[in-house]
Amino acid sequence: MLEQFRQDDIQQPPETLMEISPETRPDDRQETTPPDYQTIRDRILKSLITGRGRIATSAPQYKSAVKALDRFIAEIQGDAKT
């Protein structure tokens, strides 16, 4: 009986032996276009000037956010080029 149990362990059911199709393999990466960072930046900045907790475009916090987002985008685009 122990021998039969071990043989059953060795034989795997057919559904677990299915091969992964080439389209679903994780190591095959498709080229995608990067998102438009300036559009995302503008949407984020617009969210700061609308709504209850809005910030004026002349406020130091808004200007700091603009600089931080611009530096962030520059870093991302610099990394994408290499």
Distance between CA 60 and CA 45 in Å, rounded?
13
b/e 2-20 (16+ beta carbons within 10 angstroms → b): eeeeeeeeeeeeeeeeeee
CA 34 to each of CA 10, 16, 18, 21, 43: distance values in angstroms, whole numbers, following the listed order: 46, 36, 34, 26, 17
pLDDT tens across the length of the chain (82 residues): 555 555 555 555 555 545 555 555 555 567 788 789 999 999 999 988 887 778 888 999 999 999 999 999 999 988 777 6
The per-residue pLDDT for 4 is 57
Contact call for residues 43 and 22 (beta carbons, < 8 A): no
The per-residue pLDDT for 35 is 86
